[in-house]
Every structure is written in structure tokens, then in C-alpha cells.
Chain A
């Protein structure tokens, strides 16, 4: 039996092995090919989904909703699902009685959970059940219950299942009360972004249908869920086994006046309001086929929230490049004038931009946040722990960025119930509140505001090892400058020549080469030779020494105010870059630590950082090339030119 571990029906599978599977009546061999009517055993004719032709002919496109039922092992998930199937009549006539009879024959107590095993064994796939999903329907819509195993060993599968759901039912055993897994599941649902939640307190029959016990569980669990940001639509006292309040009222609990499980589930809404949120379209890819007479350049991605229309001004983050939507492209249909959340789109722009996957397209106002530090909640599934000092890959939207753990605030331990503030790493199955630091600025949202661009996974090595949501941006030292340069870029008044046209006419893209290294290593010598060589090659290059800016533009400010000096230097560089120039400079005057700040200021233009120093040790983070001190300028320049050429090749595709 191979299915057991992966689907996590461990509890169910055990039960099934000893009973309930009507022996001999299973397996595909009993299904006669090429017939639909004559059945030999009589069992397959009464299968579920026995919709008569008249119903089939109507064939309305019914609404489908994927839900997940989660809870601690043995709290009654399978029983509830079995009950739902039986009570909504999708089971087919005689099915229930048949399984009950089998149990009697084998001297076993009947369990509703056996229904699931019996159905699965009969291979009525696609109709009522498969190993990962159960299908049922109400008058309102069709449901797919996604399997989300409760046992901690299967957390990976539980999370995968639950992540696909639009709503969840949390189940708690009235006798056992709130358990460790009840908390973990609540936490996980909140991180998976499942806001529509109903809590059922099961096995009320075991506690004499006592209202007080119900109320105290509600109070305890509500307080916990509140902490993790989940506000359940209702708490329902039920007995899945006896059928109280699953799909009908309960005599024993007349004191309860809320909906039963079925009504509560029917009360879930479909995808609330993503269309009305600000536009977010993470760039998935940029296509230019140049084939079969097609020379469109299409920016492709799925609209995660909001809507975008032809003629809209848009900005891409984190690069801050702006353009206007020229068209919305589709295959085999009339091109629409707008496209909204949930749909995969392709847009062309009036101005050709060099765009990379990972940028987020938004309107000029209400754009995403951009930064390098993110306060997050995450859960960890990795075999190795998540710990400071190691690098991981963060995937958010369509972007990929190298990150490290910056600070751990709180860890909800996998083994113990309590949370720990001292723990210095996050182990498998732990849940944590921490700060991540990325190498380069990334665009994102607080998950509370926009879900699609507010959640992420972390890849360790080759594997997805964790996932989570962004709670907020933690400002870094460049936050203010980043904001300023963003506003400046968006508000910038342009002539008729676009950046792309300018670089085409001038024969090269604008760019900056910055030399770093200690005083006396020969930066200036290389910079001079580079300027000369480039100009002789026909490149519009200019050696801009920091000192020259200080002599004029900043002569009226205090020389000790490094921030102000760097900022002004950066703004001057930006002007040169916008004019199409290749700027060559050194950090001689502004000080070594500032090339990051400078990069923030000149974005979206890219800096090429060349470091002169004896070893990789002293190299600033993000440097592109290292040269030995006193490097022979001509050889050095040849290397730099090769790098520049490689860059512009990359940019021109």
C-alpha cells in the first residue's frame, strides 16, 4: 500500500485495512469495459454522482469552491467528511447501508470515516473522491475538500493542501480541548492567508452537549486565533458521529442558535475584493518572439490584484521605471481594453523598457513597498534549521532574492507548546516571527494589504523549505533616499526622446563605473585610462571626480555632513546618466561605504563596482570585479570593457 504516507490518511488507512472495504467488490477488474448499464455486483450501479440525464442536460457552470478541513489527529475530520457526504446525498443510494452491513458482519463498530475508504477503494475517481480530494455539492455550489493531513509528520502535505484552499474548517475535540496542533493549524492558516474560517467543536455528545464546555473552548480558542489575525465566522458545537448540527439542527443543543456546518460553509464568499485593491502584476517574463511575423514585445504576468487598462501609466518596482500600457494582448480572442485580478495578462508598453522578471507593475500611486528588511511570520519545513549567518533564496511574487536572517523575535517551538524568545534558530515545523534582510532591494506588500505580493517561500539549496507572510517593512539606512529617488523618477519631466531611443542613437546604454579601494591603490590611474579609452572608442564617457561636485554644487554646505554630500553627488550622477553618459568615478572623496547609497540614488541605472585591493576580504558587498592594487591600467580597462559589453548585450535583448 503506497498511498498511506503521502496522503496522510494514516488513521483512516489503518481502519480500512481491518474492515469496511467490501472485499472482492473492489478493483478495476469488476468494471466492465464498454458498458454503462449491466452491472454484475450491483454496487457500481449505485455509485455517487448518479445524476439523471435531465439534470445533466441543464449543465450550468456551477461555482466551485476548494475548502480544507484541518485539526488534530482523531478530532474527527474524516467522520465529519463522511457525514457531509452522507447527509448531502452525494453518496448514492444504498452505499451507507452497505458499509454499515459490512461492519456488522465483521463485528465492527461502524465509522463514518469508513465511507471514505470504501469510496476510494472503489475508484470512483473524479466523482466523489480521490486520494487527495473529496467532492460534494450543495444547492449553492460544488465543493472540493482538499486533503490536509493532521499529523505533524505530514505538515508539508497539509500546508500544500491548505495553500490551495479558499476557506477552512478547523475542528476541535470537545473533550480534549485546544491542543498544540489546534494552535499550529490556526497559525498556519493565518500564514497561508486563509481568512475565511469556521471552527467546529466536535464530539459534543461525549461531554453531554454541555454549553459551558463549548463556551470555554470558544473563549480560549478565539483569544488565540485573534492573536494570529483570524476572526472565525462562527463556532459550531457538533457531533459528527451523531449528526448534530452537521446538516441540520440538534435537539440536544437547542441552546445553540447559529448555522449548522453546511450552512456555515455555504456562507463562505468567493475571493473577496482583490479586484478593488491597488494594481499588482509581478512580471513573469518578457516575450519577444520574432517568429511567424510576430515582433510584439510582451510583458507577461498574472494580475494579482486590482486591474489595468490600456492607456494607464504604470511603474515597475523596485527599478522605478515608468511607462504607459499600449495594449493588452491575448491569444485567439478580441484584445480586451482592461484585465483584472486573477487573470494572466500580457501587456505592451509605449516606451520600450529593459525589464526583468520579478519587478512588480503597479499604477504610479499606491505602489508596493521597496526595501531590504522585512518583518515576517514564517513556518519552516526544512530538514536543516533556518539560522542566521546562512544565505537562502527568497521567492516572492516572481522575484528571487538572496536573504539572511537579520533578527529572530519569537519562535513557536515544534515540540513544546510554548513560544520562546531566546531560540536562535528555527527548526523543522517551528513557526517564527523574524526579520529577513535581502541583498538587493525588493518590492512587496504587507500581506494584510495585498496577499499575492505579501507572501513568500524560502528555498534552501534546491528545496522549498519554508513559507510565510510579510508583516511590515523595517526601514534600513537608505529607506528615505529610496523613497525620494522613487518619487523623483515618477515625477521626472521628460522630453520626447525616450531612454531606449537615446541609447540607440548614442550607440550604448548609460552606465556608471565606480572604483572602490583604499587610498593609494591606483584607482584614479585606471579611471583615467578607462575614460580615455572609452571616448576613443566613440563612447560618451566622462570622468566625474567627487571633488568637482564638492567644489561647486555643494560648496555651501558643511563638509562634515557626509549624507548631504553623497546625496548631491548622486543626484548629479543621475543627471549625467539620464543624459545617456557613461560616468566614471572613484570613491576617493565620498568614502568607501557609500556605493550602496549611491546605487539607491541612481536606480534604475546600474552601477558597475570595480574594487582595487589585495584580496576578496576587503571587497564591498555586491562588487562586480576585483583588481590587484597597482593593476596595469590597460589590462584592467580591457576587463572592465568586457564586463560593460556583456551588460549592454544583456540589456539589449
Chain B
């Protein structure tokens, strides 16, 4: 079996386990390449369907075309979109000039936590393709996430099924064993689980897969004539482009195989503090 096939099969298996074991299941969709590959895998696992909601945290600072792309795909594929936001922080003018970590924590970490546990209002896309305020908000107990072990230090210590306690805290030092295809699917009330079908994938695997499957990826990843492109997507304010003339998946692959610069080098918040990511991650940021 080719390695990419092995990765795909493992991902599909994990998706089906997650769907079977968690009633309140959702998947985080950041619109980036990883979670879009994740979305494609979900459709593979469920034969074209995505039988759980997709949660998007809108910081309001995303590149506008990300939102357009999100809603277009959602309508085309019949996705159940759920959108959360830290409305209060935004109303009070939160932005990255108040400190990148502070901003990330408010607009991503806090927004995510309270969107997942249902304590803050969230929007849902109806069958008509229009968003409305969600009425009976249930907490999600299983959250599928596109994290990869090779992204940065703390992620490589994840399990496929990774428990979080009621504070969304992650006890790295004492994680459950994972054997073969048997995952931790039994949980004490009040805890929830992060599920990582892409854990073993590398950045290159992601692009190889996009190429192989022709996954519709947002065009911000490609050079559209300016000689720059995004390698990693985030808020417009904090994510830089890289100089690149890669216009196709194939060209990106060639570029990646030659580079020595880490993927998230364009993400400003990573540079602010050596342990920034680990901190945010423990607090629940993806």
C-alpha cells in the first residue's frame, strides 16, 4: 500500500470511529488546507455526506475571500455550518495591536471554547443557505481537528483521540495509551475529546493528497500573479505571504520539497514567545 493510501485509510477509520462514539460531534473547519483536506476525508468516510456540523471561528480579521469560499462550499456540499465569534471582545475593539497573544486568546481560544460548550451565541446555516442564530445550543463532546504532528513541538505529542477535561485542559504527561485501532472512546461526563485524523500527515502529504484527489483548495495558497502566496492561513493582520510563484499544486510540491523554512514561519504570533503555541494549545487553541 502506498503511504498516502495508508494515511487516508487511517483517517477514514478514525472518522467513522468518532461518528459512532460521539453523539455531540463536530469538526473544526478553518478554511485552511489541512481542515479542507479533513473535510474531503470526511466525505470519503461517509460516502459524500458530512453527518455533523462544521464549526468555524470567525475572528472577523480573516481574509474576506475565505468567508466567501466557506459559504459557497457549504451550500454546494450541503454542510451544516456553525459559526462562533467573540462578539463582546470585538465590540470592545479587540485587535492584534493589543498584543498578538492577547488577541489570539480572546478571538480564537475563548471564542472556540465558548462556541464548543454552547455558552456563547453561535450562528447556524439553515437548509436555505442563510445563517440564523442557533436556538438550543448543545455542548460538543467530540471535536475533530486537523492538527498534524509535524506542525510544531507540542502537536507531536498528541494522540488520535486526545481527552480534554472540563476546562479544556490537556494533560500531556498522562495520556491514555492507543493500541492499533483501539482508541479512547469512553469518557467521564464533563470531559471532551479532540480527535486528530491527520496526526501522521506531513505538510507535503497534505499537498500530495490535494493533488491526487483534486481537493478544491482556496486560491490564497497559490500565486495569483503578484509573486507571493500564503503558505499558512490565518488572520490577515498576522499572517504574511511568502515570495513564491507557485501557481499549481505541483509547483507548490516542488517548492516544499526544497525548502528548509518551517511552515508557520509566516505566522507572527508564533514568533512572539517560544512557548506561545504550547500555551495556546493547552488552553484549547487549535
Residues of chain A at the chain B interface (Cβ within 8 Å):
2-3, 5-7, 27-29, 31-36, 44-45, 47, 49-53, 55-57, 59, 61-64, 120, 123-127, 130-133, 142, 156-157, 159-160, 163, 192-193, 270-271, 284-285, 287, 289, 291-292, 294, 296, 298, 300, 302, 329-332, 342-344, 346, 357, 381, 393, 395, 452, 455-457, 459, 461-464, 467
Contacts and interface: CB of A to CB of B under 8 A. Distances in A.
B187 A462 contact: yes
A34 B241 contact: yes
B33 interface: no
Interface in B13-41: 13, 16-17, 19-20
6 contacts: A34-B243, A63-B3, A126-B150, A156-B176, A160-B177, A331-B48
Nearest to A121: B153
B186 A463 contact: yes
B180 A163 contact: yes
A131 B157 contact: yes
B178 interface: yes
Contact of B271 (A33, A36, A59, A193): A33
B213 interface: yes
Given A29-B271, A287-B49, A464-B184, 17 more contacts: A3-B157, A28-B262, A33-B242, A34-B240, A34-B242, A53-B258, A56-B253, A123-B153, A125-B152, A156-B176, A157-B175, A294-B47, A294-B48, A302-B9, A343-B5, A457-B182, A464-B176
Nearest to A192: B179
B153 A160 contact: no
Nearest to B159: A160
B126 interface: no
A132 B254 CA distance: 26
B61 interface: no
A7 B173 CA distance: 9
B260 interface: yes
A285 B157 contact: no
Contacts of B271: 28-29, 33
A2 to B, nearest CB: 6
Contacts of B208: 61
B202 A126 contact: yes
A61 B8 CA distance: 15
Interface in B231-260: 240-243, 253-254, 257-260
Contacts of A63: 3
A56 B156 contact: no
B33 to A, nearest CB: 15
A604 B118 CA distance: 43
Nearest to A274: B1
B51 interface: yes
Contacts of A163: 178-180
Given A47-B260, A132-B149, A332 B240 contact: no
Contacts of B9: 302, 342-344
B186 A459 contact: yes
Contacts of B257: 51, 55-56, 59
B188 interface: yes
Contacts of A3: 153, 157
Given A28-B262, A287-B46, A159 B179 contact: yes
A156 B157 CA distance: 13
A5 B150 contact: no
B285 to A, nearest CB: 16
B44 interface: yes
A296 B173 contact: no
Nearest to B6: A342
B12 interface: yes
B58 interface: no
Contacts of A285: 16, 19-20
A395 B182 contact: yes
A29 B274 contact: yes
Given A29-B271, A29-B274, A395-B182, A159 B157 contact: no
Given A63-B3, A344-B13, A35 B261 contact: yes
A292 B51 CA distance: 12
